[in-house]
């Protein structure tokens, strides 16, 4: 059998194992950490700007209702420019918000939220006030109730008279 002929004088375009890499492994790892830090900072700035105006109300709700884990956001949806400006509060409650027997408690909590909103943010700049009451039950689906009202009547009255109860989905 004959051995393969190897031409050692020929210039090769193949990449050799002896050529140095453009980026060392340490530079790639450092670059990944810098990228992660920058993205975390951008996310923090966005979230601060998005929820910052509502932090006084969120903190006031937490002081008034411990363990409610409130989340407050507001404004218009970007996709739908002609929608009303809505102030949206989501909070955990210890009672069953879907129960008709608990309606007076829902109304009382809603009235307290209206008063807190009047004191802590520019409540009059919104058109709708939407509150999501959520009861988390271990190993069961959550019970939820959404109450939505126009802001204008709430500015003149301490206790709202009429409620727009959104029925919970049947599950």
- Other CB atoms within 10 Å distance of the CB of residue 91: 20
In a domain, 14, yes or no: no
Give me the domain span that covers residue 75. Answer: 54-166
pLDDT of residue 101: 93
* pLDDT tens digits for range 37-50: 999 999 999 888 88
In contact, 129 and 148? CB cutoff 8 Å: yes
Instruction: Give the position of tokens 């102030």.
Output: 87
- Other CB atoms within 10 Å distance of the CB of residue 1: 2
pLDDT of residue 171: 43
pLDDT of residue 5: 61
pTM for this predicted structure: 0.69
* pLDDT tens digits for range 17-36: 666 667 788 889 999 999 99
* Phi, psi (deg, nearest 5) at residue 148: -125, 130
Per-residue pLDDT of the chain (171 residues; tens, 9 = 90+): 566 666 565 555 555 566 666 778 888 999 999 999 999 999 999 888 888 889 999 999 999 999 999 999 988 877 667 788 899 999 999 999 999 999 999 999 999 999 999 999 989 999 999 999 999 988 889 999 999 999 989 887 654 444 455 555 444
How many residues can be counted in the chain?
171
- Other CB atoms within 10 Å distance of the CB of residue 73: 14
In a domain, 40, yes or no: no
In a domain, 139, yes or no: yes
In a domain, 31, yes or no: no
In a domain, 60, yes or no: yes
In a domain, 49, yes or no: no
- Other CB atoms within 10 Å distance of the CB of residue 56: 14
Q: How many domains does the chain have?
A: 1
Please choose, from the candidates 73, 117, 74, 68, the residue with its C-alpha nearest in 3D space to the C-alpha of residue 97: 68
pLDDT of residue 79: 67
In a domain, 81, yes or no: yes
In a domain, 18, yes or no: no
- Other CB atoms within 10 Å distance of the CB of residue 80: 8
């Amino acid at each position: 059998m004959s051995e393969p002929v190897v031409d050692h004088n020929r210039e090769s375009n193949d990449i050799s194992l002896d050529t140095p890499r453009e980026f060392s492994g340490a530079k790639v790892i450092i670059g990944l950490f810098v990228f992660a830090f920058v993205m975390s900072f951008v996310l923090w700035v966005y979230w601060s700007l998005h929820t910052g105006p509502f932090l006084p109300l969120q903190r006031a709700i937490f002081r008034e209702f411990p363990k409610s884990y409130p989340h407050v956001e507001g404004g218009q949806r970007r996709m739908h420019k002609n929608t009303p400006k809505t102030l949206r509060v989501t909070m955990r409650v210890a009672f069953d918000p879907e129960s008709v027997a608990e309606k007076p408690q829902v109304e009382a909590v809603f009235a307290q939220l209206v008063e807190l909103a009047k004191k802590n943010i520019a409540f009059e700049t919104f058109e709708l006030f939407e509150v999501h009451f959520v009861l988390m039950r271990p190993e069961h689906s959550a019970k939820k109730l959404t109450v939505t009202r126009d802001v204008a009547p709430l500015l003149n009255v301490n206790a709202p008279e009429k409620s727009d109860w959104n029925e919970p989905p049947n599950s």
